[in-house]
Amino acid sequence: MKPVADSNELMKGAMILTVAALVTKILSAVYRVPFQNIVGDIGFYIYQQVYPFFGIVMVLSTYGFPVIISKLYTEEQAAGHHGRADRLLAISLVFLGMVGFLLFAFFFFGASWISGKIGDPELTPLFKVVSVPFLLFPFISVFRGYFQGKGNMVPTAISQVSEQFIRVATILILSAVFVQQGFSLYVTGAGAVFGSVTGGLISVLLLGFYFWKNRGGDPFKHFQAKDLFDDAAWAVKALVVQGLAISISGMLLILFQLADSLNMYISLLDTGLTTEEAKSAKGIFDRGQPLIQLGAVVATSMSLSLVPAISGDKSSDRHERILAKVRLALQTSLVFGAAAAVGLSSIMVPVNIMLFKNADGSNVLAVLSLMILFASVILTIMSILQGLDHSLFPAAVVLAGFGMKYFMNLILIPSFGTMGAACATLIAMLCVMMVLIAKLRRELGGPVLSTVFIGKILLSSAVMAVILRLFLFITDFGYGYIEPDRLGAIFQALSSVAIGALVYFFVLVKTRALTEDELATLPFGSRIVQLFSR
């Protein structure tokens, strides 16, 4: 394999990774619905208490270190430093292996201490299981970085999708079997977390197979001790600074879930709830995670496809073209983010019943779902800033947002319960978004989106919300004629999605929030123009 030089090949490779990431994120969001239906709210709480720690491993081995390893490898190969490129891989494997082993030891031997700190000692076995993927992530990261640096995105894409598919299959199969066999919910949770091990092993085996098949020549010919030592400082510094910065930026949603795992359960106990009530309340709150994740994926999938073009224009210093692409990316994320957030919030009751059997916590989930709008804008701006060579700032803002969310939980949950946690999420997200918007304006020399455009988005969202509320009020009378209630909720939810989309885009077109050319760039945009311009 040769380093990729042709722009068409680069775009093709980027598209392969984009599709793989999209499939992976959709699988990651969707499986939690049947999983919750199998184990219930308390079982869901048990799994979600540990999931953010595994989510960190996923980000490190998918978005963080492979990206920086591939970037450095490509640069060294292009400069003719083939030996240094090979040594980069060896140094990365050793360094990340040390990091992975330390994290494994912390979670495995410190499992009882961690579970005690978050208030539930019965989680100890789950933390021991979740420690194992930390031993696998160095191999996954280096293999993916190697192939991406060579311009071959297929191994990375196949390993990502296969890893997620095997993980989801393990979670659902073991959970169903363990529940049927009468095992405790904590044993069932440990079985679900074991999916992270099976998925990681499949990924390592697939990547190892591709590496063995395509290695070519002697892979150790450039590994003299002196040269490795000379290059170690350069490689480790790049991994620590740039790799961690990209990783942290990709952990936005996971870190907010981590804050809830660390202190929500204990804070709920302080409100006077029993242990069972607190676990159930946290599990009901966690129903919002797959909805938020799926909404954010849909809202950002189009806008993020524009980021590589922004990076390309940056290298050519084409300010006007950069500004146009940034504006289009933000408009796209705002259009779909607002539609998903306001629409989901408006129809949360039937969606909750449709997916999770009952309407428990619908008011809290309706507030929490507004996070989709903030998350969509934040993820888009962070990607734009990375395209403009600003990776450290978004990472620092995300960490600050995590700290704010953590402390806001401590303040609001004792007084307002899970609604306090939802409000803490929105406040922290809003602050992160405002800081990133200010940074982007500074980098581009002025505002990107006009207040008129934002006002038209808000108007379209408000009209959609009113119509959906009215529709639900009218169709609520039909519940007595459609049995069971879940079937009626399915009818309400799915029909509401169609009605909401029609109303939202009708107002959007009639207020000329977007030009016809801008609308045409959206999914089904040309059809929308034809439908509503008549």
Q: What is the pLDDT of residue 132?
A: 95
Query: Would you say residue 221 lies in a domain?
Result: yes
Annotate 336-373 with three-state secondary structure.
HHHHHHHHHHHCHHHHHHHHHCCCCCHHHHHHHCCHHH
Query: Would you say residue 43 lies in a domain?
Result: yes
Burial class (CB in 10 A: 0-12, 13-18, 19+), 518: middle
The distance in angstroms from the start CA to the end CA of the chain is 53
Query: Would you say residue 96 lies in a domain?
Result: yes
Q: What is the pLDDT of residue 149?
A: 86
> Buried b / exposed e across 91-128, counting CB within 10 Å, b at 16+?
bbbbbbbebbeebbeebbebbeebbeebbbeebbbbbb
Query: Would you say residue 242 lies in a domain?
Result: yes
Query: Would you say residue 387 lies in a domain?
Result: no
Which residue in 498, 489, 488, 490 sits closest to 467, CA to CA? 498
Number of domains within the chain: 1
Q: What is the pLDDT of residue 266?
A: 95
pTM of structure: 0.88
Q: What is the mean pLDDT of each run of 10 residues along the chain (534 residues)?
A: 49 71 83 94 96 90 85 83 83 92 95 94 95 94 89 88 94 96 95 94 93 68 64 85 86 94 94 94 94 80 57 61 80 89 95 92 95 92 84 92 97 95 97 94 83 92 96 76 72 93 89 73 64 60
Q: What is the pLDDT of residue 233?
A: 82
Query: Would you say residue 503 lies in a domain?
Result: no
Query: Would you say residue 20 lies in a domain?
Result: yes
Query: Would you say residue 129 lies in a domain?
Result: yes
Domain with 20 in it: 1-249
DSSP result, 263-315: HHHHHHHHTT--HHHHHHHHHHHTTHHHHHHHHHHHHHHHHHTTHHHHHHHHH
Q: Give the separation between CA 203 and CA 133, rounded to whole angstroms.
A: 11
